[in-house]
Amino acid sequence: MSFAFNALRATAVSILIVDDERLNRATLAELLQPHYQVLLAKNGKSALEIVRNERSHLGLVLLDVSMPGMDGYEVLRQLRAEESTAHIPVIFITGQSDEAAEEYGLRLGAADYVSKPIRPAVLQARVKHQIDLFLRKRELEHLALADGLTGLANRRHFDEALDHIHRRCQRSGEYLGLALIDIDHFKQFNDHYGHLQGDDALRAVAQAMRQHAQRAGDLAARYGGEEFAFVNMGSKETMPQLAENFRQAIVNLGISHQGSPMGQLTISAGVVVCRPQLSSSLSDLLNHADQLLYQAKTQGRNRIQLRVLE
């Protein structure tokens, strides 16, 4: 599961060309490389391996129907049988003119057919159409999981990611780090400066969070209102250091806050690090973090309260 929250650009989209004839692969690659990243496979087995490894950036598969060993139909069946690859569009490249074969491929889930010999303008137009559809779908998925004000992951995305990481750490024995974060005295900030500046402050905090959630598996989210959350997996030192670096980064922003005893915008955080057991629950983990956040507030704010659960 990927937690990156970046807009998908056309130049970041990969297209996989699968054909057992080297000349055919080279011809298709030459047509598409000016616009897309092109991957090549010479048979069905290697095609499936590439798709599984590159699926997060793979926008389209151009698949030859007639290949020795595993034909294009079988490759498509296997792609559609796996949840992680079922959504990737496939265009069949075929020298067959049999309507029944084309109908069969479309029923299996092919998005389109292109006949050999290849007409460059037709191929490029059909590829562009499929990539445009892919990008629009990804953008809609992004919007459904993003907080509209800050651009961070929203609460729905956070809940799904935390559940995924928790179950993965239960299986692997890796450490899970969770931080619940609150902007100190934020109601007073809004009362003094107004909600427009309050929104600007939330966006500034979110940008600082984004800069600190750079590792694979890190997720920064808006938890609700002026509350934020980090979740990651790794060593037991990672999350405490990440949270403290973030706290200091907010201090370094120097955002004036006349409604706070500190005179500037600060945050408090409750941080839990654990190796989840099979019997442990997410609700217990969240309750621990919430209690620690409460302690950080009652002990003066602008601080991190940490608990490591072995």
Contact in structure between 240 and 273 (CB atoms under 8 Å) = yes
Structure tokens at 121: 């303008």
Bridge partners of residue 38, in order along the sequence: 15
- For strands 90-94 and 112-115, give the pairing: parallel
Active site residue 226: yes
Q: Which of 54, 160, 226, 310 is catalytic?
A: 226
- For strands 219-224 and 227-234, give the pairing: antiparallel
Positions annotated as catalytic residues are 226
